[in-house]
């Protein structure tokens, strides 16, 4: 099963399955009428979530960063992500993203484990 793709490259093998939390959330147009009753119209759905990525070498990490830069349009990332919740499909979206370094451990010169968390929010 594919969880995420950047361009034509499947990045699922870097993702920690237990950390994968991507869902679709409603965007509402909300108002209160003269009787103080709340009304809400769902305008669209927005993809939000996060997941952890693990890289075993610096070369893998640098290749991923290059792939990330190749799939950016301005400050938006073009990514396909699996959305469970009410969609259950691979969705192509333009997202704002943030990557945070969780840990970096060096076992030897060739084996460096880098774990980052990627947060996504569809525009």
- The tokens of 53 are what? 């990525």
pLDDT at 121: 92
Contact 48, 22 (CB under 8 A): yes
Is the pLDDT confidence value at 119 over 90?
yes
The model's pTM is: 0.79
pLDDT at 53: 92
| Phi (first) and psi of residue 115, to 5 degrees | -120, 125
The pLDDT tens digits for 57-70 are 888 888 999 999 99
pLDDT at 109: 67
User: How large is the average pLDDT for residues 3-13?
Assistant: 88
């Amino acid at each position: 099963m594919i969880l995420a793709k950047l361009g034509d490259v499947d990045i699922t093998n870097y993702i920690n399955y237990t950390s994968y939390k991507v869902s679709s959330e409603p965007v509402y147009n909300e108002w209160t009428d003269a009787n103080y009753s709340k009304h809400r119209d769902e305008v669209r759905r927005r993809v939000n979530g996060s997941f952890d990525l693990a890289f075993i070498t610096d070369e893998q990490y640098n290749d991923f960063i290059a792939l990330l830069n190749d799939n950016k349009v301005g400050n938006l990332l073009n990514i396909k992500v699996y959305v469970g919740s009410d969609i259950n499909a691979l969705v192509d979206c333009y997202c704002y993203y943030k990557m945070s370094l969780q840990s970096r451990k060096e076992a030897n010169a060739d084996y460096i484990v880098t774990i980052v968390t990627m947060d996504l929010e569809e525009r």
